Each structure stands twice: as structure tokens, then as C-alpha cells.
Amino acid sequence: MKNRTFDVVIVGGGISGSALTFLLSKYTDVGSIAMLEKYGSLAPLNSHARSNSQTLHCGDIETNYSLEKAKLVKQQANMLVHYAASLENNDFLFKFPKMILAVGEDECARLEKRHEEFAEAFPYMELWDAERIAEVEPAVALIDGKPRPEKIIASGCTDEYSAVNYGNLAKSFINSARNATNKEIHISLSCEVERIQKFDDHYELSTPQGTFIAKFVVVSAGAHSLLLANQLGHGMDMSILPMAGSFYYIPKMLNGKVYTMQNDKLPFAALHGDPDLIEMSKTRLGPTALVLPKLERYTGGTYWDFWRSLKLDFKVLKVFWDLMKDSTIRNYIFRNFAFEIPKLRQKLFAKDVQKIIPSVKPEDLEYAAGIGGLRPQVIDKTSMQLKLGEASIVPENESLIFNMTPSPGATTCLGNAYRDAQIIADRLGINLNRQAVIDELLGGNDIPK
């Protein structure tokens, strides 16, 4: 099979790889881009609508974000809204009501404080009492038509974009990239990159479809990115902890997204209820958080890849020990294991769901088989800490980037692509039309460095 040479080769055809393909094709003068995807379709794994919560994370209902993080995520989320607005129509961006729900005196006091603190950044959010909540989401506020007993308030809105089918968005990015003028855009599906080798002035990527040659390589291969980095001697101070997320279905009882208040001690986002863009007759609840010893959910194998990317040693064990010695986290981990055990799981999960919809009974819950994905959480072995957000490896004096993108990596795909495009432009000496990105995708304000 003959060699093919490209300016930039992107490994991984999820939302991250597709967003970068689009941004490079439209806003830089790069000559040629190849995107190589292991499976036979675009966004087959975590970016598929069945795998994630389909939320456009704007920072308004995510009580696990600081104000600073919420502002940044809002700006990145808005890039998707601006992108959608540039198209005649789209099949990926949707408006549903959304709210943070507080239950009980303590949570209500915390939410009121947060609402005030975040008001300047999110002026469209309103503080709702039980009556108003009942108008927007009757199943949350009422049991058999009567108010639920606990005090509830919510911070919410009804006319903002809140849901994204990221699989459809990935396809839209690739269509838009192909429409960009005089660029060579090559997409290879069923094309697993088995090895990346470094040469003096280029990289060679071995795949079943032959060797691809690149001046710059970006690896956005989800949980697999670290393994490819390790092959080249990078990211040896990191491990991947794959956190699977499962969901449960009930018949449609919510009109929009209902997020709950975060327990600050817990590393993963609190339970929420959402409409399901691919199953609109149902309400989806979740995700759970379960450590799985594999790098992909619902595909065969990748157990060995997990062990190779975990690189179990004293430092990794220390991170596990620190997590397990906290009783709140320990209980949470055991509870999430139990959420996977048939029969027991409905009963246990119903208790958590009743915080959102008090009338739900265990028998209403259906384990959503085949739904859910895997968050590649990074363990930083130097600081011996579990990192909660996204992580990248950008080796100095190399033309390489490796991205690991747990939540909110789908929301921030264009923000991440913009960041990567600046590095690529600098190192390849090509032009990035930053002003056009700022005007067209960022509403006139650049992302602060």
C-alpha cells in the first residue's frame, strides 16, 4: 500500500478529532489533513449520543464547577452555538428547560448563595420556588398532584441551548471541513493507528491501510491517547483510570434537564435527569461512575491496553488509597458498583432518583443496556492526584499533541481545537486566522490565555 503524506494527521474520529479537522480546514492555510478512525463510522465511542449525557455544559447548572471554570466552559460551549448559527439548519443542537435542583434546607441555602455568585456570568438564570418548578417540571415538584414534603428551589431557565447530539455534530464538522476551499481532507475509517514513529522532520503512522506520513500529529483517541504517547516516551508520569458511566431509563417524566447539587467531596458530577435525543419517549437518569478495567465500553477486549496505560505502581496505589480512605468517596464507589448488580441496582438507584422525581419506584427503572461510555480520567503520578478535567501532553520541540478528554470534553471540542490549532500554526509556521475565529466562533472575545 502506498505512503501518503499530510501536513497534519489526526488520530481519532470522535468529536475532538472532527472539531480540529473543521477548525484547521476553515481557519488555517494548512494544505492537507488526514483523520484516521479505528472503527467504521465517525464518533463511534464516547462522542456518540448513546454514550454521553448530551449536555451542552455551559457552567450554569454544573455545581461541580468553580465560577472561573464555569465562565471558560460557557465561552467554549458558545462556540458550538455560533457554529450552529452559521449553518442553514442543523440536527445537533437543541433547547430544553434546564435547572439545578436543591432539596432540603441546607442545599437550598447553598444554591441561593451560588445563584447570586453566578448571576453576573449567567444573567438568564432565574431562582425558582416550588410553584414555578411545578410549572416547568411537574414530576419534580409534585407527588400525585400535591407538593412534595421537602423544601425545594431551583436555579433554571427555559430558553437556552442545553442538549447536543455530539455524534451528529462530528458529522457536521466533517461536512463543513470538506466544503472548505482548496484543502485536501482525507478521512480513513477502520484505520487503527498501531504505531507512531518519529523521524528527523516527520512522523510515520502505521495502520492496516498503510503508512501515513505527517509533519504534525494530534492524537485525540480518548483513553487510547496515553498509550500512543507512551510509545514515543511521552506522558510516562500519567496513568488512565477509566470511569464508566451507565444510565437508567424511565418513561418520559421530565421536560428538560434537571441537575442536582454536587457533594463537594465527590470527584464526579452528581446524578441528573435528561431527555434522550435518541429515545425521546424516555427520560434518562445517570450517569453512574464505575471503574472498569478496559479502555472502551461495549466493545470486546482493551483489557490489556488498560493495564498498559494504568502502569500500576506505588504512586498509583497511593492515589487509590487516598480515595478509598475517605468514607464518602468509599461509599460512593461501592454504591456505584452496586448500581450494576441486577435486581439490587433498581432498588438502590431508585433512592437516588427520588431526589429528582419523588414518585419514581424501583419497578419504573430500566437499566439502559448498551447506553453509556467511559471517561478517561488521568492520574498525575508526580502530584499523586486524580485529575478531574481534561489533560493534554504537548512535548516541547516536537510536532505532537495528545489529548485525553473526559467530561466536558465534548462541549469544549471547538475550544480545544482552537488551542491545538494555535500550537500547530506556531510549530508548522502556517497562518491561523485568529480574528476570524474570534469574530465567527467566539462572538468577538478571545479565550483568555
Ligand X SMILES: Cc1cc2nc3c(=O)[nH]c(=O)nc-3n(C[C@H](O)[C@H](O)[C@H](O)COP(=O)(O)OP(=O)(O)OC[C@H]3O[C@@H](n4cnc5c(N)ncnc54)[C@H](O)[C@@H]3O)c2cc1C
Residues that bind ligand X (CB under 6 A): 11-17, 36-39, 43-47, 51-55, 57, 192-193, 220-222, 224, 245, 287, 372-375, 405-411
Place of cell 470511569: 243
Judged by CB, which is closer to ligand X: 11, or 187?
11
Judged by CB, which is closer to ligand X: 190, or 383?
190
| Cα distance between residue 432 and residue 445, in whole Å | 16
Judged by CB, which is closer to ligand X: 13, or 156?
13
C-beta nearest to ligand X: residue: 14
Judged by CB, which is closer to ligand X: 79, or 410?
410
Residue type, 350: A
Our CA angle for 164, 394, 296, nearest 5°, is 50
Three-state SS sequence of 70-127: HHHHHHHHHHHHHHHHCCCCCCCEEECCEEEEEECHHHHHHHHHHHHHHCCCCCCCEE
Name the burial class of residue 29, with classes exposed (0-12), middle (13-18) and buried (19+) by CB atoms within 10 angstroms of its CB.
Answer: middle
Least distance CB 426 / ligand X (angstroms): 22
Least distance CB 194 / ligand X (angstroms): 7
Least distance CB 134 / ligand X (angstroms): 26
Least distance CB 112 / ligand X (angstroms): 26
Judged by CB, which is closer to ligand X: 134, or 295?
295
Judged by CB, which is closer to ligand X: 23, or 108?
23
| Of 309, 312, 315, nearest in space to 228 by CA | 309
Residues facing residue 43 across a β-bridge:
none
Least distance CB 236 / ligand X (angstroms): 19
Least distance CB 407 / ligand X (angstroms): 4
Residues facing residue 378 across a β-bridge:
240, 387
| Cell representation of residue 87 | 449553518
Q: DSSP string covering 145-158, please?
A: TEE-SS-EEEEEES
